[in-house]
């Protein structure tokens, strides 16, 4: 007979005898929204940015100050953790407003992806869980200065990038979205 299962239906209070858990994975769980924006008929270029470290990325993107040095030199998708009780669609619209400083931008339905990782500081087998909502959209090239949170924000040819050029594990997000890096 198979062992009893605990399903990922998290609740604060658990009725005796139910198969619900109040546990969060030992290394945490993040819910995030990502925008993968390209010009029409050119999916090989994607809108990527380099963060402006003096911008309030903890408020803008859920990126704490301790992680800024590790990400400020690489390319990053417009993205953010979801806020508590925020829907993925609302998070994507917030990214459009706050990170791209656009009033509106048409986005397609999200691709939902799940991934796990074992942080270097974690005990063997302890996993961090990520659930990502990847929204596609169209971005026309502009010559305007980058929006305030970014030191650079531009359409970048993915064929010229390595996975190490893209920060926060977002090379995986691009791969899930069917966008391949060069090397």
- The 10s digit of each residue's pLDDT in 143-155 is 678 898 999 999 9
Kindly list the strands in the beta sheet with 29-38, ordered across the sheet, starting from the edge strand earlier in the chain: 79-81, 29-38, 128-138, 111-117
- Per residue in 50-95, pLDDT (tens digit) is 999 899 998 888 888 888 888 888 999 999 999 988 999 999 999 9
Please say whether the beta carbons of 35 and 95 come within 8 A: yes
> Confidence band (pLDDT; 50, 70, 90) for 178?
very high
| pLDDT confidence of residue 21 | 64
- The torsion angles phi and psi of 138, rounded to 5 degrees, stand at -105, 135
Average pLDDT over residues 11-35: 76
Task: Give the pTM.
Answer: 0.88
Fold of 26-120+127-176: Nucleoside Triphosphate Pyrophosphohydrolase (3.90.79)
Average pLDDT over residues 167-179: 93
Q: CA-CA distance, 40 to 50, in Å (whole number)? A: 23
Q: CA-CA distance, 58 to 93, in Å (whole number)? A: 18
| pLDDT confidence of residue 4 | 63
- The torsion angles phi and psi of 158, rounded to 5 degrees, stand at -65, -25
What residue spans define the domains of the chain? 26-120+127-176
Average pLDDT, the chain: 87
Average pLDDT over residues 158-172: 92
> Confidence band (pLDDT; 50, 70, 90) for 120?
confident
> Confidence band (pLDDT; 50, 70, 90) for 3?
low
E strands present in the chain: 7-10, 20-21, 29-38, 45-51, 79-81, 111-117, 128-138, 150-157
Average pLDDT over residues 151-162: 95
């Amino acid at each position: 007979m198979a062992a009893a299962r605990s399903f990922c239906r998290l609740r604060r209070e658990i009725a005796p005898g139910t198969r619900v858990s109040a546990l969060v994975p030992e290394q945490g769980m993040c819910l995030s929204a990502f925008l993968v924006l390209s010009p029409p008929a050119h999916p090989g270029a994607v809108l990527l940015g380099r963060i402006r470290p003096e911008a309030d990325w903890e408020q803008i993107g859920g990126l704490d100050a301790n992680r800024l040095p590790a990400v400020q030199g690489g390319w990053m998708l417009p993205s953010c953790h979801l806020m508590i009780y925020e829907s993925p669609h609302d998070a994507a619209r917030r990214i459009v407003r706050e990170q791209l400083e656009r009033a509106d931008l048409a986005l397609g339905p999200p691709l939902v992806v799940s991934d796990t990782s074992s942080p270097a500081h974690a005990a063997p087998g302890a996993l961090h869980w990520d659930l990502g909502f990847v929204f596609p959209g169209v971005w026309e090239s502009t010559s305007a200065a980058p929006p305030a949170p970014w030191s650079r924000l531009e359409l970048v040819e993915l064929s010229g990038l390595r996975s190490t050029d893209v920060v926060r594990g977002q090379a995986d997000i691009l791969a899930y979205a069917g966008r391949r890096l060069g090397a």
